[in-house]
């Protein structure tokens, strides 16, 4: 269950209108996804996960942005020491980072899950070609191809075409769901299932949330809108659980890419306490007063709850609005609920400021420039 320490008045008529717009948006497929999950695909995901766990010591997950952050967030929070180890690649163009990942896999048995909705993003494409080469060297072409799992568009793109030609096991990123809203599709579910995350429970949590978080998400979006209009233009997501660092990263991507356009949008940043109380804490307590803090308060022990209280009081006294989102369970159900809550709140927030929550023209701009430079 999610509860809030703030209670703004919400405009029901306006919220219902925005919800209708989201439901009818060609990219609004995530809204009803947990309730209408393609069970055939879900069974195939779990079978593939078992196959990978049985055959591999490592699963190399290749992807960037929405094709990477969501599953990493859940895996790091819930199953950081999975039996089949998960390695992430293709989220930078650093040769050093790629070599490190290749060396880490070394002579161990491994499989690859390459994830790209467009199938053309350069960072994952380069990492994939290196890991494919390694697979072929180790296992020969036929077995190598059977160890490649491609999550991409159903009908088009370079990755789709290669997957069909080579017979990789394929999973689909639905047409009506964009990268940063895709964590509850095969994009996130396959790597999570390999890591031992109970994906049934995760989807149950998200499915229940589709009803239960409607009001809290509307309140949170309304609160953000009000703060933005009072010139609080920076939001700090704060957590006291170090294992949720990547959940913060996913949040920054979700809100940054959904809202940051047309000169609008709250700038998202994040901290992990206590660590960051000894760095960013100074600024938050005492720097420019244009920021507000959103504490994601996971269930915790008594000691940690004391520091949550201390920070809430100190930062409020320092003059920044402190919003607290309390989560009742630190498990798959809790994270399913939390993911859905933030997706919904984010889409509503973007709609409130009049920007499209589902496109990312800025991201596409750098991709185009990079391709031009590479062609030169």
Taking the C-alpha atoms of residue 268 and residue 364, their distance in angstroms, rounded to an integer, is: 20
Q: What is the CA 242 to chain-centroid distance, rounded? A: 17
Stretch that binds ligand PA5, among 61-69, 302-310, 323-331, 339-347 (CB under 6 A): 61-69
Instruction: Tell me, yes or no, if 367 is annotated catalytic.
Output: yes
Query: The tokens 């497929």 sit on which residue?
Result: 29
Candidates 91, 121, 270, 312: give the one binding ligand PA5 (CB under 6 A): 121
**How many residues touch ligand PA5 (CB under 6 A)?**
15
Rule CB under 6 A: is residue 185 a binding residue for ligand PA5? no
Shortest gap between Cβ of 178 and ligand PA5 (angstroms)? 5
Taking the C-alpha atoms of residue 240 and residue 19, their distance in angstroms, rounded to an integer, is: 32
Taking alpha carbons only, the member of 76, 166, 63 closest to residue 123 is 63
Candidates 56, 84, 111, 116: give the one binding ligand PA5 (CB under 6 A): 116
Taking the C-alpha atoms of residue 208 and residue 35, their distance in angstroms, rounded to an integer, is: 9
Stretch that binds ligand PA5, among 50-58, 178-186, 200-208, 276-284 (CB under 6 A): 178-186
Query: The tokens 């940063």 sit on which residue?
Result: 180
Stretch that binds ligand PA5, among 27-35, 58-66, 131-139, 288-296 (CB under 6 A): 58-66
Candidates 28, 34, 66, 265: give the one binding ligand PA5 (CB under 6 A): 66
Candidates 28, 70, 179, 188: give the one binding ligand PA5 (CB under 6 A): 179
Rule CB under 6 A: is residue 93 a binding residue for ligand PA5? no
Backbone angles phi, psi at 8, to 5 degrees: -70, 155
Shortest gap between Cβ of 146 and ligand PA5 (angstroms)? 23
Contacts of 259 (CB under 8 A, 6+ apart): 265, 266, 346, 349, 350, 353, 355, 357
Find the catalytic residue in 76, 130, 241, 257: 257
The radius of gyration of the chain from alpha carbons, rounded to an integer in Å, stands at: 21
Q: Which is nearer to ligand PA5, 312 or 360 (CB)?
A: 360
Chain length of the chain: 376
Rule CB under 6 A: is residue 151 a binding residue for ligand PA5? no
Rule CB under 6 A: is residue 180 a binding residue for ligand PA5? yes
Give helix 158-166 / helix 122-146 axis angle, nearest 10°.
10
Candidates 117, 160, 315, 351: give the one binding ligand PA5 (CB under 6 A): 117
What six digits make up the tokens of 297? 């308060």
Find the catalytic residue in 13, 24, 231, 278: 278
Candidates 111, 294, 297, 360: give the one binding ligand PA5 (CB under 6 A): 360
Secondary structure (3-state) at 158:
helix
Neighbour-count burial for 5-21, b at 16+ CB within 10 Å, e otherwise: eeebeeeeeebeebbee
Q: Which is nearer to ligand PA5, 207 or 258 (CB)?
A: 258
Q: Which residues are catalytic?
A: 257, 278, 367
Q: Which residues bind ligand PA5 (CB under 6 A)?
A: 64-67, 116-118, 121, 124, 178-180, 257, 360, 363
């Amino acid at each position: 269950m999610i509860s809030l320490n703030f209670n703004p008045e919400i405009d029901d008529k306006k919220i219902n209108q925005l919800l209708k717009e989201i439901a009818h948006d060609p990219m609004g497929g995530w809204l009803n996804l947990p309730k209408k999950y393609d069970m055939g695909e879900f069974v195939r995901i779990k079978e593939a996960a078992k196959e990978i766990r049985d055959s591999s010591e490592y699963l190399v997950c290749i992807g960037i942005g929405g094709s990477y952050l969501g599953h990493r967030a859940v895996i790091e929070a819930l199953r950081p020491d999975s039996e089949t180890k998960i390695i992430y690649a293709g989220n930078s163009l650093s040769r050093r980072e790629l070599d490190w990942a290749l060396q880490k896999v070394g002579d161990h048995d491994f499989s690859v899950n390459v994830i790209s909705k467009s199938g053309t993003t350069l960072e994952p494409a380069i990492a994939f070609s290196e890991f494919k080469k390694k697979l072929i060297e180790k296992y020969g072409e036929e077995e190598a191809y059977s160890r490649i799992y491609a999550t991409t568009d159903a009908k088009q793109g370079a990755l789709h075409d290669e997957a069909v030609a080579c017979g990789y096991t394929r999973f689909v990123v639905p047409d009506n769901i964009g990268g940063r809203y895709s964590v509850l599709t095969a994009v996130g579910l396959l790597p999570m299932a390999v890591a031992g995350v109970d994906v049934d429970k995760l989807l149950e949590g998200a499915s229940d949330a589709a009803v239960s978080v409607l009001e809290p998400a509307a309140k949170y979006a309304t609160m953000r809108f009000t703060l933005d209009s009072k010139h609080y233009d920076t939001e700090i997501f704060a957590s006291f659980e170090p294992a949720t660092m990547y959940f913060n990263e996913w949040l920054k991507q979700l809100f940054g890419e959904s809202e940051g356009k047309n000169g609008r949008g709250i700038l998202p940043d994040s901290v992990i306490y206590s660590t960051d109380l000894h760095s960013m804490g100074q600024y938050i307590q005492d720097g420019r007063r244009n920021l507000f803090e959103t504490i994601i308060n996971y269930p915790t022990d008594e000691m940690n709850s004391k520091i949550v209280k201390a920070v809430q009081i100190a930062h409020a006294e320092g003059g920044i609005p402190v919003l607290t989102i309390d989560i009742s369970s630190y498990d798959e159900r809790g994270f399913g609920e939390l993911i859905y809550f933030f997706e919904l709140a984010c889409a509503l927030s973007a709609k409130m400021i009049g920007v499209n929550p589902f496109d990312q023209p800025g991201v596409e701009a750098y991709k185009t420039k990079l391709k031009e430079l590479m062609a030169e």
